[in-house]
């Protein structure tokens, strides 16, 4: 249970500085914005939100809503999950989800999921997608398999383009195979598929 009588919050991550909860309540009552309060207290807006939540401080909803943009907008594009956003901002899941629904008509996890699916259709490797999206590589592999979004076709196109480039350079098939690290029969197979129209190159 929250101890509302606890008047001083020891902010260990800023050294010996302490924050008066009663002062925080006073600033909110006076109508100061979260940004203004953060500036006065010398802390981040996320810290102010965290204190409000931890000490169950009653706040004017309008002021909180107006400042959520300032807190969450910097995290858009960082591909964080709902739980990660709540941890970083100190906001409740309800507030974060409501903001995302208003801005993107989707929850943070849905936005992240859709971004992953988009990346799976690109040339990026599983490892690169995992690093970009802050995900486990096994999760990326699972999603690729689940939605049948392998990039095999693109890899074949890229190999075909490399073979054509080498042919234009005047190399023989055996030389092409050696240069590209593939077998002679693989070179023949690619050229045959290109000739029969089985393999077509995209315009990009």
* pLDDT tens readout for residues 188-201: 988 888 888 766 66
Domain match, 23 and 66 both: yes
pTM: 0.46
Q: What average pLDDT does the structure give for the chain?
A: 80
Q: Encode pLDDT of 151-163 as tens digits.
A: 666 677 888 889 9
DSSP for 78-126, written as a single string:
S---HHHHHHHH---HHHHHHHHHHHHSS-HHHHHHHHHHHHHTSS--H
Total domains in the chain come to 3
Range of the domain at 57: 8-76
Q: What is the pLDDT of residue 58?
A: 72
User: What pLDDT is recorded for position 5?
Assistant: 42
Q: Are residues 121 and 160 in the same domain?
A: no
**Is 90 part of any domain?**
no
Do 54 and 12 share a structural domain?
yes
Residue 100 resides in a domain: no
Q: What angle do CA 112, 71, 110 make, to 5 degrees?
A: 15
Cα(123)–Cα(129) distance, integer angstroms? 10
- pLDDT tens digits, one per residue of 98-148: 889 988 899 898 999 999 998 888 778 889 999 988 889 999 989 988 888
């Amino acid at each position: 249970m929250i101890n509302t009588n606890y008047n001083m919050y020891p902010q260990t991550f800023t050294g010996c500085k302490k924050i008066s909860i009663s002062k925080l309540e006073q600033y909110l009552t006076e109508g100061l914005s979260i940004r203004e309060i953060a500036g006065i207290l010398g802390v981040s807006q996320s810290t102010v939100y965290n204190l409000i939540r931890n000490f169950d401080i009653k706040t004017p909803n309008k002021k909180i809503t107006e400042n959520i943009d300032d807190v969450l907008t910097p995290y858009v594009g960082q591909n964080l999950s709902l739980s990660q956003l709540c941890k970083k901002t100190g906001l409740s899941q309800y507030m974060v989800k409501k903001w995302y629904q208003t801005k993107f008509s989707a929850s943070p996890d849905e936005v992240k999921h859709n971004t992953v699916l988009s990346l799976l259709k690109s040339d990026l490797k599983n490892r690169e997608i995992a690093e970009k999206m802050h995900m486990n590589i096994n999760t990326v592999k699972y999603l690729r398999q689940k939605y049948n979004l392998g990039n095999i076709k693109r890899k074949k196109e890229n190999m075909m383009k490399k073979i054509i480039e080498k042919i234009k350079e005047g190399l023989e098939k055996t030389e092409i195979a050696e240069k590209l690290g593939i077998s002679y029969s693989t070179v023949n197979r690619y050229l045959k598929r290109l000739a029969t129209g089985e393999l077509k190159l995209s315009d990009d």
